Amino acid sequence: MLKDLRYTAKHIVIYSIGNLSTKLIGFILLPLYTDHLTTSEYGMLALLEVTSFMLIAMVGMRMSTAMMRWGSAEKTGSRQGSIAFTVFITLVVLAIVFNILFQPLAGSFSKILFETSTYKEYFNVLFLFVSFEIMNVWVLDLIRIKEKPLFYVFLSLLKFTVVLALNIYFIKVLEYGVLGIILSQLIGSALLFLCSSVFIYRNITAKFLLKDLKPMFGYGFPLVFTTMSMYLLSLGDRYLMKYILDLGDVGIYSLGYKIATVTNLLVIQSFQTGFLPIAYKKYEEGGNERFFVKSLTYYTFILVVVSLGLAMVSRELISFLSKSEAYYSAYKIVPFISLALIFKGIQYVFSLSLHFVRRTKYNAFIVLSVAVFNLVINIILLPRMGIYGAGVASAISFFIMLLFFRSYAKRFYDPGYEIKKIVLLIATGIAFYLLSTLFNEFPMGWSIILKFLLIVLFPFFLLLFRFYEEIEIQRIKGFFRKWRNPLTWLSNIWSFLKS
C-alpha cells in the first residue's frame, strides 16, 4: 500500500504544479489588480469568472468526466482512442452550437448582470474563452488517462507564462482593465489547445462510438446539475451580493475568497486531478480499502494545515498584497471560506463512492438541494451580516453537504474511513486558529513568527491524542532524517519524481 500511496502522491505533486501555474495568476497579480481596478471593477471580474465557470460546466456536459470513467476501465489503446474521439467530436459540436446561440445574446447578458449593454464585448470574448476551455478540459483529462503528468505541467506552464505576460501588458500598458484580463485568458486557452494538437492526433482513433455515447451522456448529464449546483453553492452568493449589497462588496468578498481558495488550488484540485484516475483503477481491482482510508486521512491533514495557515496569516497577507485600503477588511472572510473548503475537500472523497457505482444522480440531488439551501440562507444572512453572512452560509452549507454524501455514499462503498481522526483534525485546526487571533494586535513581524510557530506545533499536538499509528511515526522520523539537510533536497526531489 505504501508504494501505491507514494505513486499517488507523486502524481498529485506533479499535477499540482500544473494546476497552480494556471490558476494562481489571479493571486500573483493581486497587487496589479487592486492598484488598477476599483472594488466595483474587481467585483465585475468576479461575476464574469463565475459566469464562465457555469457556462463551461453547462456546455461541456461533463463529457470529459464520462470519458475518464469509460477510458480508465479500458485495457486497449484503440478502444480508449475511440472513446476519446467520440467525446471530442461531441464537444466540438456543442461548442459551435453554443456560440451560434449565445454570441447574439452578449448584450443581453451585459444588461442582466451590469444593468447596461456597454460591456457586450466582454461577453463576446468570454463566450469564445468558454469554448476553448471546454476543449482544454477534454485535452487535460485525456492526458490524465494516459498518465502523462509532465506534459500536463508543460502545457499548464506555457499557458501560465502567456496569460501572465498578457495580463501585465493589457492592464498596465494598454489599460484595458477587466477586458484585458479575459482577453488574455482567451489567448492563453487557444494557445494551449493548439500546442496539444499533436498529442490529440496520436491518442485518438477516428471511430465514433454511437452506442457508447448514450451511456456516457447518461453518466455525465446528472453531473452537469452537480457541477452547476456546486458553482451556485460556491460562487452563487456573488450574484445575490450584487443585488442585495453592491459591486464593491462583491469585490471585497471576492478578494478574501481568492486568498482562501489557494487551498482549493494547492490541495483540493491537485488531489482531485491526480487521485481520480488512480482511484477508479483501485476500485476496479478491489481489495484496496486501506489505500482509500489512508488517502483521505493524509489528504485531510494537509487540507487542514494549509487552510489553517492561510486563515492565520490572511490579515497580514492582504495588507501586503493590496495597495488599496478599501480591500483590507477582506481578511475577515478567509477563515469562514477556509472551513467551508475543508468540508468541500472531504465530501469529494465521500462522493467518489457514487461515481464508482455510477449512481451520479445522487450527486446531482445532494448538491442541488444544498445549493438551494445556500441561496435561501444567503438571502436571510446577507442583509443582516453583510458579506460575512455569505461566509457563514458557505461553511454551514458545505458541512451539510458533507453529511449528506457520507450518509448516501456509504450505502454503496464504505472502506471504513477514520472519521474520528478527521473530526480531531478539524476541531484542532479551529482551536489553533482561534488561538492565533490573539496575535493580531502584535506588530506584523511578531504576529507572523508566532503564527508560524503554531503551525509547526500543530502536528506535534496531535501526538497527545494518539493520532498517528506506530508505523506512521517511524515513517515521519525517516522523512525528517532524509530531508533535514537542505543540500540533499534537489536530489531527493529528483529521486521522488523518478521512482
Model pLDDT for residues 365-386, shown as the tens digit of each residue:
888 888 889 989 999 999 999 8
Give residue 488's pLDDT: 67
Q: Which of 13-22, 405-414, 480-489 has the lowest mean pLDDT?
A: 13-22
Share above pLDDT 70 across residues of the chain, in percent, rounded to a whole number: 88
Give residue 23's pLDDT: 59
Distance CA 80, CA 57 (A): 23
Question: For residue 250, what pLDDT band results from cuts at 50, 70 and 90?
Answer: confident
At residue 314, what is the residue type?
S
pLDDT of 494 higher than 80: no
How far apart, in Å, are the Cα atoms of 373 and each of 225, 298, 394, 401? 15, 31, 10, 10
How far apart, in Å, are the Cα atoms of 409 and each of 344, 413, 416, 426, 484? 15, 6, 12, 21, 41
Calculate mean pLDDT across residues 317-346.
86
Q: What is the mean pLDDT of the chain?
A: 84
Share above pLDDT 90 across residues of the chain, in percent, rounded to a whole number: 31
Helices (H) and strands (E) in the chain, counts: 24, 0
Question: For residue 393, what pLDDT band results from cuts at 50, 70 and 90?
Answer: very high
For residues 307 and 77, the model is more confident at 307
Return the SS3 of 111: helix
The full DSSP string for 448-465 is HHHHHHHHHHHHHHGGGG
- The rounded radius of gyration (Å) of the Cα atoms in the chain is 23
Calculate mean pLDDT across residues 31-41.
83
Distance CA 204, CA 142 (A): 9
Give residue 73's pLDDT: 63
Is residue 1 within 8 Å of residue 291, measured between CB atoms?
yes
pLDDT of 420 higher than 90: yes
pLDDT of 7 higher than 80: no
- Residue-wise pLDDT for 49-63, tens only, equals 888 988 988 888 888
Is residue 31 within 8 Å of residue 322, measured between CB atoms?
yes
CA 170, distance to chain mean position in Å, is 26
Calculate mean pLDDT across residues 11-38.
69
CA 112, distance to chain mean position in Å, is 27
**Of the spans 191-200, 288-297, 434-443, which averages the highest pLDDT?**
191-200
For residues 130 and 220, the model is more confident at 130
Give residue 340's pLDDT: 93
Calculate mean pLDDT across residues 237-259.
84
CA atoms within 13 A on the CB side of 370: 28
Distance CA 168, CA 188 (A): 14
Give residue 162's pLDDT: 92
Question: For residue 490, what pLDDT band results from cuts at 50, 70 and 90?
Answer: low
Give residue 342's pLDDT: 94
Distance CA 168, CA 32 (A): 8
Distance CA 350, CA 300 (A): 12
pTM greater than the 0.75 cutoff: no
Residue with cell 488598477: 36
Q: What interhelical angle do 269-285 and 334-356 show, nearest 10?
A: 20
Q: Which long-range contacts (CB under 8 A, 24 or more apart) does 321-329 make?
A: 321/30, 321/31, 321/34, 322/30, 322/31, 322/34, 322/255, 323/31, 323/34, 323/35, 324/34, 324/35, 324/39, 326/38, 326/39, 326/248, 326/252, 327/34, 327/39, 327/251, 327/252, 327/255, 329/252
Question: For residue 416, what pLDDT band results from cuts at 50, 70 and 90?
Answer: confident
Give residue 85's pLDDT: 92
pLDDT of 141 higher than 90: no
For residues 305 and 264, the model is more confident at 305
Distance CA 472, CA 124 (A): 54
Give residue 484's pLDDT: 64
Assign residue 177 a region: left if phi > 0, alpha if psi is -120 to 50, beta otherwise? left
pLDDT of 97 higher than 80: yes
Q: What interhelical angle do 77-102 and 210-235 show, nearest 10?
A: 60
Calculate mean pLDDT across residues 402-422.
87
pLDDT of 27 higher than 90: no
| Residue 267, phi then psi, degrees to nearest 5 | -115, -60
For residues 223 and 298, the model is more confident at 298
Distance CA 106, CA 91 (A): 21
pLDDT of 487 higher than 70: no
Distance CA 302, CA 146 (A): 27
Q: Kindly state the DSSP code that residue 469 receives in the 8-state scheme.
A: -
For residues 123 and 286, the model is more confident at 123
Is residue 42 within 8 Å of residue 253, measured between CB atoms?
no
Give residue 36's pLDDT: 84
Q: Which of 21-25, 126-130, 208-212 has the lowest mean pLDDT?
A: 21-25
